[in-house]
Amino acid sequence: MQANWTWQFEVDGFRKKRLKQVKPMRVTFEDIQIEVDNSFGYIDPNPRWSIAPHSHDYFEIHVCTRGRGINQLANGKTLAFQPDVVYLAPPGEVHAQWVDEQAPMELYFMSFQLSGINLSTMRHVYCKIPALGRQTASIYQMERSPSANERFLASLKAVELIWHVISTVRDQRNAQYDGTDNTKSDIVDEALAYIRNRFLENPSVAQIAAACHVSPRHLARVFQMTLGVSVHQVLEQERFNWATAQLQHASVTVQALSERMNFSSPAYFGQWFKRHAQQSPTTFRHTLSTL
């Protein structure tokens, strides 16, 4: 991606508003000044939306409230969105976003100005904060109220939420969320969900680990400690179970099955299947028909 790319919307259900009649609110916490001007955005959980690479001259905070999605930075690094994950885009940072079609993401965002802080510590802020999505959704609804008092309160709560994010990241002393603060069961659950949704694509262990915000080595270690098996073994079992279920249907050809499972050829699929079942797909299907 290039830093000079601009907005190109391919979004259904995108809404953003800036209320000119409300003056910017400036609040200072511990010499850090936060300014908001009622500029909020919302994107419906549509399975087809995406936003092309772009950047801003202000800070923008993004909060996922449900579903899943991907945020990609200019250096090619991808950050996975899930409920209560917050991404804070600093001025000039190029990012692009799209949803997981199987679990469309709902996204809220708000822009603000920030001063009195080392901006380098606010780059690539990406973390998971409990209940953040619920708070953001509440602020957005208040901001849309016809009542000036409600909109004023929305601005105040927005400032509080931004400060909460900044102070949480600062307390963690690490602005990069990599999933290591998750419990082992959280990581396993997330990896299993990813495998069950993507096993036909035959994802690599590195891809699964990236979706869980951990390194492949850490994911492998957690799986071995928690389940006693490797990530690859779980993926292979999911694929094999699905293949055997499909072979019970006479209308499903071996060639169609191999293509659906992203094998390079029916012959390669047959070798893979025989390694797991000790018999070819055709023999397996014949055995089922005689039972």
123-153 pLDDT tens trace:
567 777 778 888 888 888 888 888 888 888 8
Which pLDDT belongs to residue 1?
A: 27
How far apart (Å, rounded) are the C-alpha atoms in residues 222 and 231?
A: 9
Which pLDDT belongs to residue 185?
A: 67
- Whether the full predicted model's pTM is greater than 0.85, yes or no, is no
CATH number given to 184-290:
1.10.10.60
Which pLDDT belongs to residue 177?
A: 39
Q: What is the pLDDT of residues 36-47, one digit of tens each?
A: 876 788 888 887
pLDDT higher for 73 or 230? Answer: 230
Which pLDDT belongs to residue 258?
A: 92
**Are 9-172 and 184-290 in the same CATH fold?**
no
- Please state the domain extents for the chain: 9-172, 184-290
Which pLDDT belongs to residue 259?
A: 93
Which pLDDT belongs to residue 10?
A: 37
What average pLDDT score do residues 87-108 get? 85
Q: What is the mean pLDDT of the chain?
A: 78
Which pLDDT belongs to residue 121?
A: 58
Select the CATH number that applies to the domain covering 9-172 from these four: 3.90.1260.10, 2.60.120.10, 3.40.50.620, 3.10.180.10: 2.60.120.10
Instruction: Check whether 268 has a pLDDT greater than 90.
Output: yes
pLDDT higher for 119 or 179? Answer: 119
What average pLDDT score do residues 194-212 get? 90
